[in-house]
């Protein structure tokens, strides 16, 4: 998928003009920062809109306007900053949990410059206080069994999990169900034939 195709596909998801403009500014800031710290691979930036932005925008129709979200292991902001760009016009707020200080400096720069409704927790997920949230998200963060351990404080508080998973998602789900009873929906990915977004509405330890 080319950048033009990705942009067109994003528009088809009814992303507002304001959100799209914020996404463009976010990617511009990311481009400025990536020469200073390792935020994203040099070859990946050529596919930033198709591989990262469009992939994360898939979450927007799944998140209610005005909802609060927590993104675990935010890194360069996918999907946390994408959600925050959307939340600026749709209401709600996002908490970005990231343990690496340099990455948090980048996140703070974007949040400040774009005036996004987001706060940053510069700490490991397991040491983060789980304040009540409507959604908990993660992308390329941990295998599902471990990810559920990390996300449990929010899931047990009523949050819905939205987790990006690749071609091994069935294997990860089987492993997770050895320790968890789950209510879930596997939503096919728009960017990967084998990938899904796992929407987890209930998670209880066996």
> What tens digit of pLDDT does each residue of 43-78 get?
888 889 988 999 999 999 999 999 999 999 999 999
Burial letters 6-32, b for 16+ CB under 10 A, else e? bbebbeeeebeeebbebbeebbebbee
- What is the tally of structural domains in the chain? 1
Concatenated DSSP letters for 71-101? EES-TTTTTHHHHHHHHHHH--EEEEE---H
CATH number, domain with residue 41: 3.40.50.150
Q: Cβ contacts of residue 95 below 8 Å, gap of 6+?
A: 68, 69, 70, 71, 118, 119, 120, 121, 131, 133
pTM (global) more than 0.85: yes
* Cβ atoms 191, 5 nearer than 8 A: no
Helix, strand, coil percentages for the chain (3-state, nearest 5)? 45, 20, 35
Q: What is the pLDDT of residue 79?
A: 97
Angle between helices 169-176 and 144-155 (to 10 degrees): 60
Cα 165–chain centre separation: 12
Domain that holds residue 97: 3-205
Instruction: Name residues of the chain where pLDDT drops below 70.
Output: none
Residue 176 is predicted with a pLDDT of: 96
Cα 28–chain centre separation: 19
Report residue 18 CA to chain centroid gap. 19
Closest CA relative to residue 118, chosen from 140, 141, 92, 137: 92
């Amino acid at each position: 998928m080319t950048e033009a195709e990705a942009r067109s596909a994003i528009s088809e998801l009814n992303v507002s003009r304001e959100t799209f403009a914020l996404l463009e500014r976010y990617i511009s800031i990311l481009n400025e920062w990536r020469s200073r710290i390792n935020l994203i691979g040099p070859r990946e930036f050529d596919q930033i809109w198709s591989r990262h932005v469009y992939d994360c925008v898939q979450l927007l129709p799944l998140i209610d306007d005005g909802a609060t979200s927590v993104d675990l292991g935010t890194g360069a902001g996918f999907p946390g900053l994408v959600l925050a760009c959307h939340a600026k016009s749709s209401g709600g707020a996002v908490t970005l949990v990231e343990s690496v200080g340099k990455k948090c400096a980048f996140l703070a720069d974007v949040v400040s410059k774009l005036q996004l409704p987001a706060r940053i927790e510069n700490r490991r997920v397991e040491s983060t206080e789980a304040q009540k949230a409507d959604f908990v998200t993660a992308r390329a963060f941990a295998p599902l069994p471990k990810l559920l351990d990390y996300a449990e404080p929010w899931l047990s508080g009523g949050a819905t999990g939205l987790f990006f998973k690749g071609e091994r998602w069935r294997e990860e789900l089987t492993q997770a169900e050895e320790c968890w009873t789950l209510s879930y929906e596997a939503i096919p990915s728009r960017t990967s034939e084998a990938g899904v977004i796992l929407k987890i509405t209930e998670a209880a330890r066996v």
